Chain A
Amino acid sequence: MTSTATRRRGRMARNWLMFAALAGPNILLLIAFTYKPLLQSFYYSTLQWNIGSSRAISVGLRNYTDWLTDSQTPHVVGVTVVFTLATVGGGMVLGLSLAVLLNRRLKLIGPARTIVVAPYVLSGVAVGLLWLFVFDPNFGIVAAVLGFVGLPSPAWYNDPQWALVMVIIVQLWKNVGYIALIYLAGLQAIPKDLLEAASLDGAGPVRTFRRVILPLLGPTTFFLSVTTLLSSLQSFDIIQAMTKGGPLEGTTTMMYEIYREGFVAGRAGYSSAVATILFVVLLIVTLVQMRFVERKVHYA
């Protein structure tokens, strides 16, 4: 008994050493360039400090209270919520519909799949610049097409509300393909006999979809909701390339506020405080979803 226990402990210790040797560089890099900077950022959030300045005053939690009481904050939070809900919710619905469509036995499924996923792998900056040209309210191709149908073009990036709609459309254009791709893989992993059984039991396509397919896609939906939520909350490139948060702060999400306060206005302490708040939001979202999913999702 004791000898097995010792041997087991010995093997565990050996495995630990092996692991430290193999994964050590990886973990060291993450500590140096991700974890340590993050902790430093928490510390900066308690300072009144401008980037490059040698003077920093410790102000405790004042940056946080400043943000919470700032008259702009409700607006920024509102923009963040609208942008996130529209891109995550819209993305999931559109992505799933697209996946269902691609899952039919179509000729040319391969090329179709590639075309759908192509926008996802492109640089957000390039995509933003391209769509900025497409959306030009006076001379853009969207305005031309709307004019052809007899509709006036919205002011797009000259109007705070339409600018938000515009960046949402572009974010969706870029990401729906990825969501569809993951859903498609999920759909193809569903055993065919389950669907046949449902059909033999007299379930129509709608019922099969709601009662059989959707529940089986549970883990995929969970995975996608976490990844798209995290990426939407941190979306930056498209907004930077298209609107720089404007006009009239119409597209200033929390992420963009952090950037602007820190690197345009130079208020590093304040910017770090907002970044810490965003980090806490991301952490809570992830933890809640993980707990929720443990109870809710059934693995086949």
Chain B
Amino acid sequence: MSAIAATATRTVARDRAVAAVDTRAIAMKRRGRGRGIRTGISAAVIVLWCLAPFYWMIVTAFRDVGYTYDTAFWPTHVTFDNFTTAFSTQLGNHLGKALLNSLFIGVCVTAIALIIGIFAAYALARLDFRFKGILLGVILGASMFPGVALITPLFQLFTNIGWMGSYQALILPSISFVLPLTVYTLTSFFREMPWDLEEAARIDGCTQAQAFRKIILPLAAPAVFTTAILAFISSWNEYLISSQLSSDATQPVTVAIASFAGSQPHQEPYTTVMAAGTIVTIPLVILVLIFQRRIVAGLTAGGVKG
């Protein structure tokens, strides 16, 4: 009796166990599908969280100034007036000039920083000598300094030599701020280069300079291009130093939009600011969309390897 009961219990237990395994498998499959849906929903929420402010900026930029605080999610009272106001020199908004300034400063900074940075990164990646670690530290350590501490001395320096408000007063410090990032990114790319090819070229009779120019530089072109984009973005966005060292004639866009005037007196010129914001940010967003692979590669180049 007890034996039968025991067997019965065991069978039931086994059945239950089998059933449990089945349910678990089903549950897991269901959970898998549930998880897929949840992943999809969370991804959608994140995309919305990232994009909604942009969307709102653009909608507001095209909205009539009388309806600044209209909270309809879709575009209403569409007009181009805000863009006209943003470019209106009569109202004291020099957005056009500021865009050209930013472009000019950005191109100069990027070009010079890259030329200087390529040589330095090559030396760091390729040459073997004592105190290399310290020199790398000197170059990268410069990125750690609070920029705000440098303004007063730079202000004094440029006042003394009569450069206050000039383009070179904005470009030269900017180059030195971009250099650590440039050298860092380029060095981490250069470390991965097939340097055997350079050796081979030298055995075939190239000088070291020729080998670098003819073999390595073409191979490094994507890396250099990536670094250029990052340097340009960083220069385009610089605000703190420019806000103190630029003049009305040389001010970049970041400084211009921070001091914007609208078409209506005594009112926060939100629609105009949003129009200006759209003009300032959209080129960068387009840059990111076109070169997203490169930018992602550039940003992650230094970050992952130890």
Contacts and interface: CB of A to CB of B under 8 A. Distances in A.
B122 A104 contact: no
B155 interface: yes
Question: Size band of the A side of the interface?
Answer: 35 or more
B72 to A, nearest CB: 9
Nearest to A180: B46
A188 to B, nearest CB: 9
Contacts of A255: 146, 148
A286 B144 contact: yes
Interface residues of B, number: 84
B146 A186 contact: no
A181 B122 CA distance: 27
B237 interface: yes
Interface string A177-190: 11001100110010
B119 interface: yes
Contact of B149 (A19, A30, A119, A258): A258
A45 to B, nearest CB: 9
Nearest to B69: A139
Contact of A112 (B43, B144, B287, B304): B43
B60 interface: yes
A198 to B, nearest CB: 17
A125 B120 contact: no
B257 A122 contact: no
Interface of B: 39, 42-43, 46-47, 49-51, 53-54, 56-57, 60, 68-69, 71, 116-117, 119-120, 122-124, 127-130, 135, 138-139, 142, 144-157, 172-173, 175-177, 179-180, 183, 233, 236-237, 239-240, 244, 253-254, 257-258, 270, 273-274, 277, 280-281, 284-285, 287-289, 292, 295-296, 299-300, 302-306
Given A125-B257, A279-B149, 20 more contacts: A22-B119, A25-B119, A26-B183, A30-B139, A32-B172, A33-B177, A37-B154, A37-B157, A113-B296, A114-B288, A119-B50, A123-B239, A123-B280, A125-B258, A130-B56, A130-B57, A178-B299, A182-B303, A259-B240, A262-B152
